């Protein structure tokens, strides 16, 4: 399986003046420009995917719409691809009339077994988050052997995929940075006696060359 992970374009939650509240924000004007640049670049550089998945959050949805236009394909929305802290501990999303308040005052990876958002009742922990992302990855292996899969998601999700692939323990020691609309490419191979994953590229942003404020 060829797995391409694409982070969403810049959203209002990525701006310096973000207040820390855990809201489902849309793309900024720059984010829309980044997604459009991605749309124009993709068909000549990554082959037609057999499946396109996306997080159900606004910023990922909007980015995925550009990817879908690039390939004329349908989007399969999956709640497991939502950013950390945006699902409850049972992997379901927060009800629209009961969103989580704000992120806790510690970094999630510093306390991987503690609630990510406050108030903490029903909040997922970082390990719950890694579990739901891992479930998605393992399902892709089963469903899409020898196929090309694109998943439009979030920086935290890409972090968690690295943790899953590299078999990282609960206390991570290296943060993986991905720019908005950056592309990561993993390949899962049937190679007995050797590693089953290959990392071909991380955070490709060729499509953003020349874009002001990229």
Give all domains of the chain, ordered by start, each with its CATH number.
Answer: 2-207 (3.40.50.1240)
Q: What are the tens digits of pLDDT across the range 93-126?
A: 988 777 666 888 899 999 999 999 887 788 999 9
Q: Are 119 and 101 in contact (CB under 8 A)?
A: yes
Q: What are the tens digits of pLDDT across the range 117-171?
A: 887 788 999 999 999 999 999 999 999 999 999 999 999 999 999 999 999 999 9
Cα 91 to Cα 177: distance, rounded to the nearest angstrom: 24
Q: What is the mean pLDDT of residues 173-185?
A: 96
Q: Are 3 and 151 in contact (CB under 8 A)?
A: yes
Q: What are the tens digits of pLDDT across the range 79-92?
A: 999 999 999 999 99
- 26-41 burial, b for 16+ CB within 10 Å, e for fewer? bbbebbbbbbbbbbeb
- What is the torsion angle, in degrees rounded to the nearest 10, for the CA atoms of residue 80, residue 169, residue 103 and residue 52? -20
- CB-count exposure of residue 64 (10 Å: 0-12, 13-18, 19+): buried
């Amino acid at each position: 399986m060829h797995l391409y992970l694409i982070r969403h374009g810049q959203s209002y939650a990525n701006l310096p003046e973000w207040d820390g509240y855990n809201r489902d924000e849309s793309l900024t004007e720059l984010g829309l420009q980044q997604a459009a640049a991605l749309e124009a670049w993709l068909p000549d550089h990554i082959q037609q995917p057999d499946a396109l998945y996306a997080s159900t959050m606004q910023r990922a949805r909007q980015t995925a719409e550009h990817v879908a236009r690039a390939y004329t394909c349908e989007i399969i929305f999956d709640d497991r691809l939502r950013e950390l802290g945006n699902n409850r501990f049972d992997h379901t999303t927060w009800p629209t009339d009961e969103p989580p308040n704000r992120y806790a005052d510690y970094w999630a990876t510093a306390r991987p077994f503690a609630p990510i958002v406050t108030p903490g009742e029903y909040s997922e922990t970082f390990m719950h988050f890694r579990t739901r992302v891992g479930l998605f990855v393992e399902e892709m292996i089963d469903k899409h052997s020898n196929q090309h899969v694109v998943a439009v998601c979030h920086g935290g999700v890409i972090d968690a995929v690295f943790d899953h692939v590299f078999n990282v323990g609960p206390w991570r020691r290296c943060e993986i940075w991905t720019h908005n609309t950056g592309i990561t490419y993993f390949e899962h191979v049937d190679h007995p006696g050797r590693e089953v994953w290959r990392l071909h590229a991380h955070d490709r942003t060729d499509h953003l060359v020349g874009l002001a404020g990229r």
